[in-house]
Amino acid sequence: MEKAFFDQDNNDNSLDRVDGRLKVTGAATYAAEYQLPNVTHAVLVTSTIAKGRITSLDSKLAEQAPGVLAVISHVNSPGVPAYGSSPAMPQRATLGTPLRVFHDNLIYFSGQPVAVIVADTWQRAEFAASLVKVQYEKEPHQTNLEANLSRAALPANVQRDKNSRYHDYDRGNPEELNTAAVKIEATYKIPTEHHNPLEPHAIIAHWEAPDKLTLYDKTQVIKGTQGNLARAFKLPLENVKVQAKFIGGAFGSGIRVWPHVMAATLAAKKVQRPVKLVLPRELMFTSVGSRPETIQHITMGATKDGKLTTITHEAVAHTSTYEEHTERTILATRMLYDCPHVSTRYRLVNLDVNTPTWMRGPGEVTGVYALESAMDELAYALQMDPLELRRRNHADSDPEKNLPWSSKSLKECYAKGAAHFGWHKRNPEPRSMRQGQMLVGYGMASSTFGVHRNYAKSRAVFQADGKVIVQSATSDIGPGTGTAMTRIAADTLSLSPAFIRFDLGESTLPDAPGQTGSTTVSSVGSAVKVACEALKQKLLQLAVNTPNSTLYNTNPADLSVEQGRIFKTGNPATGVTYTEILKQNNLPQLEVTEESKPGAEWQKYSMSAFGAHFVEVHVNPTTGEVRVKRVVTCAGVGKVINHKTARSQSIGGVVGGIGMALTEESVMDHRFGRYVTGDFANYHVPVHVDIPPIDVFFIDEHDPHVNPVGAKGLGEIAIVGVAAAVANAVFQATGKRIRDLPITPDKLI
């Protein structure tokens, strides 16, 4: 595994994780681990019906149980000031009202919080929760997407927004399908999947004063959580503090402010003590979103020599009855291949479940699974190598936006991945390759994810001791944000990384967007870069303005910097260190704050990352068990800031894709409208034994257009396409095309 990494063309000057030691020694503090004096413990009582109303909620016994401080429900909630106005706390890409916890007696889904118990210990809260008696008036619920397809509709939030990209899209004349020489048509299904980071969601809510709130929360969006809580409780922004210094994975579950956050905050208000609430694993399945279930229908037409003529792609996904969650499911189909006639349709069906949300690679991962499975089917219909089919339909510019790519290395990814994998050894005939008893299959798929960028700010402070503190209110859900930012700051300032400390995870730091959509390096990294550049310029200016400096009156353009020393280019003997400059000017420190935001480049270029995955599977013909034996993944993601952590991120994405392909499925018992797979015994994420060697390659891409850092983002593209590559490999191994994930053994025998 290591070998492939060092085989890359890139020099390996990777940093270890700057917080690695803290994490592996247990010194890193996660949300639930903050030690607050007087802390109390909260446990949620959740609904056992999927739809209806609470007719009575009897908490007398619970209130009398030992150690109980409060039982809060719609009956006695102190209330959230903004709940009165609707929609409260509007959030990106949703239409409707987020679930207003304890607001009224209405039940929207099974597992909805109906009360919270606060006690002096968690055990006592847990016991008291068992004593709350809730009676309901049930109404018939709908939780089955397939049975409700007749209600599929264009989302209302799309209807209201004429600029939305989810409107019906037609390019050319999709009727051309009728005249295509070769056609395929298929329906693909992905079940609801749930984010299952190792660390469950957790929060400590602490009202430090009646109008001052501090949250230790597992959130990907620190400033957003601060803003949402300030609006909800009608507090000045600066009166709300949010801390999330360490996060044990999230995958998108931490992008929104969920009901349990409001429940803990309300409870803390009521008991006037800090309240800790940790979601048990089972509630991770109803409290923090999910990947929506989808049914996708694709048709493709091509000429005999494998030139795509038409693609139609219809996607239906579920949402809740109280909000619309929309995602990019059909967008990749419009731009991944050069095809003259394309149509896409996007529809939602509301069901009596909690609102789905973004889950790693949201939209693209779903759409590309269907598209890349269909491409494989088309390759077989054409009797053409699937990789060759993709090469023949390469989009040299963005066929939807009619814009040039800012950069694209998909062909290089195909070449490098195929060569390293040994794709040429593949016999395309299904069931033609064996190793002992095992059927062997090779499969591949393309991947893509849009490049995004948000406004971000960063402060950089050069201290008298030679250290630089760089700050931004981003979070780090695992990719190694602190490490990447340290690298960017060190390179920009021409300093050793050992002199950099990057602070993140607190709302008091300069503005940063949420860690979402693979945007952290492009957004926060750009802010860090411009802040450090400004700091360096300030130091250079100071050097040439300091009368007793050897560089006095030198033109800054004639200066070079190495390892924190400024000198006349070509003459290192003239050098003066950053620290000496501060001393000569009697400055305790030098500070700059800069911002960075996207500009006009988005009108000139289409910006996306592209890649390819190659997978070998072995299938046991008797038991139907699929083992992934090796994976080669290659992507062009702009500049790779730190190879070691980037490689880890790619491996994590492939692992997620293998889970999606083979095991992950949230099973709903429609009789009760309740997920029955609420633990790791029933919801199967891959474990070590399921994961083969994964070779990761990056194409060295120089993209001056995307952002000052030149990085496109990596977190999401790492998973996009993996499930299709696995499914395609399973087809070549077995001759069976499994179009509904996960590919469990029962589907292969």
Catalytic residues: 716
Stretch that binds ligand MOS, among 124-132, 354-362, 380-388, 581-589 (CB under 6 A): 354-362
Residue among 458 and 516 whose Cβ is closer to ligand MOS: 516
Kindly determine how many residues on this chain lie close enough to bind ligand MOS according to the rule CB under 6 A: 10
CA distance 335 to 342: 10
CA distance 614 to 365: 16
| Contact pattern from residue 179 through residue 218 relative to ligand MOS, giving x for each residue in contact according to CB under 6 A and a dash for the rest | ----------------------------------------
Measuring CA to CA, which residue among 411, 430, 427, 429 is closest to residue 419? 411
Q: What SS3 class is residue 604? A: helix
Quick one: tokens of 622? Answer: 């008797």
Is there binding between residue 359 and ligand MOS (CB under 6 A)? yes
Q: Minimal distance in Å, beta carbon 361 to ligand MOS?
A: 7
Is there binding between residue 480 and ligand MOS (CB under 6 A)? no
Stretch that binds ligand MOS, among 234-242, 357-365, 500-508, 719-727 (CB under 6 A): 357-365
Q: Minimal distance in Å, beta carbon 90 to ligand MOS?
A: 19
Residue written as token pair 């592996």: 24
How long, in residues, is the chain?
749
Residue among 579 and 645 whose Cβ is closer to ligand MOS: 645
| HEC profile of 93-157 | CCCECCCCCCCCCEECCCCCEEEEEEECCHHHHHHHHCCCEEEEEECCCCCCCHHHHHHCECCHH
Query: Which residues sit opposite 28 in a β-bridge?
Result: none
Quick one: tokens of 257? Answer: 């402010």
Query: Rounded to the nearest 5°, which phi and psi values hold at 385?
Result: -60, 130
**Interface with ligand MOS in residues 510-529 (CB under 6 A):** 516-517
Is there binding between residue 360 and ligand MOS (CB under 6 A)? yes
Q: What is the DSSP letter of 701?
A: -
Is there binding between residue 478 and ligand MOS (CB under 6 A)? no
Q: Minimal distance in Å, beta carbon 328 to ligand MOS?
A: 11
Task: Kindly give the pairing relationship between strand 694-698 and strand 626-636.
Answer: parallel
Angle between helices 526-545 and 481-493 (to 10 degrees): 30
Stretch that binds ligand MOS, among 355-363, 462-470, 670-678, 696-704 (CB under 6 A): 355-363
Query: Which residues sit opposite 250 in a β-bridge?
Result: none
CA distance 188 to 322: 27
CA distance 332 to 298: 13
Residue among 362 and 638 whose Cβ is closer to ligand MOS: 362
* Single residue of 83, 109, 251, 675 touching ligand MOS by CB under 6 A: 251
Residue among 399 and 517 whose Cβ is closer to ligand MOS: 517
Residue among 516 and 645 whose Cβ is closer to ligand MOS: 516
Stretch that binds ligand MOS, among 102-110, 343-351, 353-361, 391-399 (CB under 6 A): 353-361
Is there binding between residue 252 and ligand MOS (CB under 6 A)? yes
Q: How far is CA 4 from CA 127, 424, 492, in A?
A: 53, 19, 29
Residue among 252 and 306 whose Cβ is closer to ligand MOS: 252
Q: What SS3 class is residue 696? A: strand
Q: Minimal distance in Å, beta carbon 193 to ligand MOS?
A: 12
**Interface with ligand MOS in residues 219-238 (CB under 6 A):** 220
Measuring CA to CA, which residue among 109, 113, 110 is closest to residue 132? 113
Query: Which residues sit opposite 291 in a β-bridge?
Result: 193
Residue nearest to ligand MOS (CB): 252
Residue among 327 and 377 whose Cβ is closer to ligand MOS: 327
Q: Minimal distance in Å, beta carbon 699 to ligand MOS?
A: 23
Is there binding between residue 362 and ligand MOS (CB under 6 A)? yes
Cβ proximity of 712 and 517 under 8 Å: no
Q: Minimal distance in Å, beta carbon 516 to ligand MOS?
A: 4
Quick one: tokens of 300? Answer: 């493709």
* Single residue of 127, 258, 358, 731 touching ligand MOS by CB under 6 A: 358
Cβ proximity of 167 and 105 under 8 Å: no
Residue among 478 and 710 whose Cβ is closer to ligand MOS: 478
268: Cα within 13 Å, side-chain hemisphere: 29
Contacts to ligand MOS by CB under 6 A = 220, 251-252, 255, 358-360, 362, 516-517
